[in-house]
Structure 1
Amino acid sequence: MPTVNEALQAAAIGHAIDLLHLSNAEVRKIIALLNSADAELRAQLILAIASLGVESFTVTHMNSVLVSVLETNKSIYAAIQETMVESVIDLAKYEIGYQKALFTEVIPQQVRVTVSLGSVTLDQTRQIAMSRPFQGKLLKEWLDNLEVNRAARIRDGVRMGMVEGQTTEQIVRRVMGIKSEGYADGLLNRSRQDIESVVRTAISHTAQGARDAFYRANDDLIAEVSWLSTLDNKTSVDCRLRDRLRYTNDTHEPVGHKVPWKAGPGRIHWCCRSTSTPILKGYEELRLSKGLPESTRASMDGQVPKSTTYGEWLIEQSAARQDQILGPNRGKLLREGGLTHDQFYNDRGKFLTLDQLRERDAASFAKAGI
């Protein structure tokens, strides 16, 4: 039977994967919202460019005819900001509730009678979501910057097209890109990439902030915090270095090493997927030994759990859980095809398609019967 700290570590790894799925869904929602204005933006852009004459073109004139285009751009970012604010506040509330439910589930009832769980207020959850900067700025500031940068790309694309004597169609394509290329050839595609980074980082930042707050509220129960990194081809140097390192719960001072916590897991760099797990004090340190059953004392040993990598954790999960994480075909390749989770990525950390995987290792597909 696993100890409480082992159960918390296993739950942290699984929860980090669920949060990644949440992040993916949030990115799709926000990108779809951003794209929803494309038709209107394109129509307004065509009208604006048509009213610009090559001979009479000036930047001042361009700015005046682009007003409606830039207003549409501003309004869609206002909608994105409203959606993101709601999402991160909901996430902070959820994460606090999840942590409390997890602690309630894994800590023996005899211990919870003596050591009550601390809680985090609703106002604190809002502070976590809205008043703490990540990568140097608040969420609102990042989204405001993205709107301004996208407006600048629109102006730059139109100005360059006019100077080069391009047609209206060519300028619109330059700015917007074309559907057959997935709009990847347009100047505005960078805006999609930028907002994806902000959304993913806001999600991980908020979740970790909520965890930190809950851990601090239970400082009498938690001895230390351990950094958990998702170890695969996409793991950053910073996160590989810190994986399984321990820090004090209150001030995050290094324990047994000199590697600084910096911004912490989920926040140390853009799109960070690292998380943390608490290491609870032992029953003796909590002064709970009197009258506790042997099984309860054993579960509350206070020991740092044995290191488990993401790949090792994944192998131990049920087939249903593996399929939920990887998809049914990759799940079957993991169980029956002889592939390990890291083989689902290329050397740049990009998730390979099934066709790319089949081309790389057809034998594994045959072995798995796919």
Structure 2
Amino acid sequence: MPTVNEQLQAAAISHAVDLQHLSNAEAHKIIKLLNSVDSDLRAQLIAAVERLGAESYTAKHMNTVLASVMALNKEIYSVIFEAMAASVVEIGKYEVAYQGALFTKVIPEQVLVQVDLATVNARQVREIALARPFQGRLLKEWTSDLEASRAAKIRDGIRIGMVEGQATDQIVRRVMGVKAEGYKDGLLERSRQDIESMTRTAISHIAQGARDKFYKENADIVGEVRWLSTLDSRTSAPCRLRDRLVYENDDGHAPVGHQVPWGLGPGRIHWNCRSTSVPIIKEYEALRLAKGLPESTRASMDGQVPQSISYGEWLKGQSAARQDEVLGPTRGKLFRDGGMSIDSFYNDKSKYLTLEQLRERDAAAFSRAGL
């Protein structure tokens, strides 16, 4: 039977996968919010550019006629902040509840009656989410910065177009992009990429912050934490360096058996970080439990750091249904029957390849999988 620490490690990998799915959904929701004002923004841009006029164009005049455009831009980012703030606080609460339920499930009942599990309250979660910076700024500050950056892109696009003598529709196209290209050719595409990165990073920040707080509140049983960067092999250099390393469960997170610093921690060490952590329960003797517990309980609480496994190894041990849930039905079948590895589903920028791209890359795998 797996030890408590082995069960916690397997659960951490599975949970990290689920959080990635949640992060994808939240990023999609926020981008949809940002896009919701596109039609109004386009209409106001057209009106503003036509009011500018090539003969009367000045920076001061442009700021005046763009007032309604900038007000709309500011308004949507205010809506985005409120939506993000509500989401990350709820995700933080969920993470605390998940960790509590997980500990209750895997730690033997005979142990739990002697060691009270502590929790993290709603006020502490909200502080982690909204009052602790990630990548140097608070969530509200990042939202404000992205709003200002998008406003600057709008002004720059108009300014360049006016200087080049472009027509109104050309200027608006430069800023907004065209439908045939999925609007990805416009200057505002970068704003969508930026808001997606902020959303993903904010979610990983609160999830890891809630985990850290829960582990520290239960430092009487959690002696150390392990860094896990096993979502796939296309991790960043800082995360590859720290993958599977062990750290003390305290504010300093001192390295255990190595000299690589914790830095900002998993999920927060860089933008879009997908690394996570897993708690390591103290050895049975260190817990100073009452004597007379069954040998099976003592064995499950051996406290040893389990042999680490990769994301691919973990996924191979899951049911077909879980594989399909993680990868999608077609990729799941390619993984099981087509001989394709996890790495083969990604390009060199860690983005999922489409099924058409996968077929072009390895048609034989589709044939082996009967697809």
TM range (shorter): over 0.9
Give the structure-2-normalised TM-score. 0.99
Asked whether the 8 Å contact 1:5–1:278 carries over to 2, the reply is: yes
Query: 1:233 Cα shift?
Result: 4.3
- The percentage of counterpart residues that share the same residue type is 69
Give the structure-1-normalised TM-score. 0.99
Q: Counterpart of 2:71 in structure 1: which amino acid?
A: E
Query: 1:232 Cα shift?
Result: 2.7
Q: Once the two structures are superposed, what CA deviation does each residue of 1:227-268 show, in whole Å capped at 9, x if it has no partner?
A: 000353430000000011000001200000000000000000
Asked whether the 8 Å contact 2:139–2:202 carries over to 1, the reply is: yes
Asked whether the 8 Å contact 1:289–1:297 carries over to 2, the reply is: no
Q: Once the two structures are superposed, what CA deviation does each residue of 1:300-335 show, in whole Å capped at 9, x if it has no partner?
A: 000001111101001001111100000000000111
Query: 1:121 Cα shift?
Result: 1.4
Query: What is the distance in 2 between the residues matched to 1:241 and 1:148?
Result: 35
Q: Once the two structures are superposed, what CA deviation does each residue of 1:128-158 show, in whole Å capped at 9, x if it has no partner?
A: 1111100000000000000001001111111
Aligned residue number for residue 85 of structure 1? 85
Q: Is the deviation greater in 165-174 or in 48-57?
A: 48-57
Asked whether the 8 Å contact 2:17–2:231 carries over to 1, the reply is: no
Asked whether the 8 Å contact 1:34–1:80 carries over to 2, the reply is: yes
Query: What is the distance in 2 between the residues matched to 1:350 and 1:206?
Result: 23
Kindly indicate whether residue 194 of structure 2 is the aligned counterpart of residue 199 of structure 1.
Answer: no
Query: What is the distance in 2 between the residues matched to 1:275 and 1:70?
Result: 39
Query: What is the distance in 1 between the residues matched to 2:52 and 2:233?
Result: 49
Q: Counterpart of 1:333 in structure 2: which amino acid?
A: L
Query: What is the distance in 2 between the residues matched to 1:293 and 1:36?
Result: 60
Query: What is the distance in 2 between the residues matched to 1:363 and 1:339?
Result: 10
Query: What is the distance in 2 between the residues matched to 1:359 and 1:19?
Result: 30
Kindly indicate whether residue 322 of structure 2 is the aligned counterpart of residue 321 of structure 1.
Answer: yes
Query: What is the distance in 2 between the residues matched to 1:119 and 1:152?
Result: 44
Query: What is the distance in 2 between the residues matched to 1:287 and 1:56?
Result: 81
Query: What 5-or-longer segments of structure 1 have no aligned partner?
Result: none
Q: Counterpart of 2:334 in structure 1: which amino acid?
A: L
Asked whether the 8 Å contact 2:46–2:172 carries over to 1, the reply is: yes
Query: What is the distance in 2 between the residues matched to 1:167 and 1:196?
Result: 32
Instruction: Provide closer, same or farther for how the CA distance between residues 366 and 289 of structure 1 changes in structure 2, counting only shifts above 3 A.
Output: farther
Q: Once the two structures are superposed, what CA deviation does each residue of 1:321-363 show, in whole Å capped at 9, x if it has no partner?
A: 1000000000001111111111111233221111111111111
Asked whether the 8 Å contact 2:231–2:274 carries over to 1, the reply is: no
Query: 1:56 Cα shift?
Result: 1.4
Q: Is the deviation greater in 340-349 or in 249-258?
A: 340-349
Kindly indicate whether residue 314 of structure 2 is the aligned counterpart of residue 309 of structure 1.
Answer: no
Count matched residues. 370
Kindly indicate whether residue 44 of structure 2 is the aligned counterpart of residue 12 of structure 1.
Answer: no
* RMSD after superposition: 0.8
Aligned residue number for residue 225 of structure 1? 225
Q: Is the deviation greater in 43-52 or in 339-348?
A: 339-348
Q: Once the two structures are superposed, what CA deviation does each residue of 1:55-105 show, in whole Å capped at 9, x if it has no partner?
A: 111111111000001111010000000000000000110000000000000
SS in 2 for 1:51: helix
Aligned residue number for residue 292 of structure 1? 293
Query: What is the distance in 1 between the residues matched to 2:174 and 2:364?
Result: 44
Aligned residue number for residue 282 of structure 1? 283
Aligned residue number for residue 34 of structure 1? 34
Q: Once the two structures are superposed, what CA deviation does each residue of 1:187-211 show, in whole Å capped at 9, x if it has no partner?
A: 1111001111100000000000000
Asked whether the 8 Å contact 2:13–2:231 carries over to 1, the reply is: no
Query: What is the distance in 1 between the residues matched to 2:148 and 2:10?
Result: 42
Aligned residue number for residue 266 of structure 1? 267
